[in-house]
Amino acid sequence: MSDIKWETGALQKFNQAVTKMPLFHRRIAEKLVKERAESMVREANKGHVSEGDVVRAFFKEVPPAFKGMMVRLLTDAGIDYEKHMGE
């Protein structure tokens, strides 16, 4: 089990975005994006995954061909992805 905690809002929005993905992509994205977010937090020596970590993990793990869908899913989940891109 992971020792990394998630901010409640970040986890809820992550789950909401992943749930709206096509089934084929859902399991892959859920695993890879979650692992990437937790890895980035661990490397930065932070104690929790924030909404910004979720956004950066999505952009690192989701192939460019699916960027449009990803932006729509993040927006639908209530995530202002643009504000996190410069962090």
Q: Return the pLDDT at 62.
A: 87
Answer yes or no: is 86 within a domain.
Answer: no
Answer yes or no: is 32 within a domain.
Answer: yes
Answer yes or no: is 59 within a domain.
Answer: yes
Are 51 and 7 in contact, with CB atoms under 8 Å apart? yes
Domain span at residue 14 reads 5-81
How many residues can be counted in the chain?
A: 87
Positions of the chain with pLDDT under 50? 1
* Number of domains present in the structure of the chain: 1
Answer yes or no: is 75 within a domain.
Answer: yes
* Token pair of 34 as six digits: 């979650």
Q: Return the pLDDT at 1.
A: 43
Q: Return the pLDDT at 2.
A: 63
Answer yes or no: is 27 within a domain.
Answer: yes
Measured CA to CA, the distance from residue 74 to residue 25 in angstroms comes to 15
Answer yes or no: is 49 within a domain.
Answer: yes
Answer yes or no: is 30 within a domain.
Answer: yes
Q: Return the pLDDT at 87.
A: 62
* Token pair of 10 as six digits: 């970040």
Residues 6+ positions from 71 with CB-CB distance below 8 Å: 81
Q: Return the pLDDT at 34.
A: 94
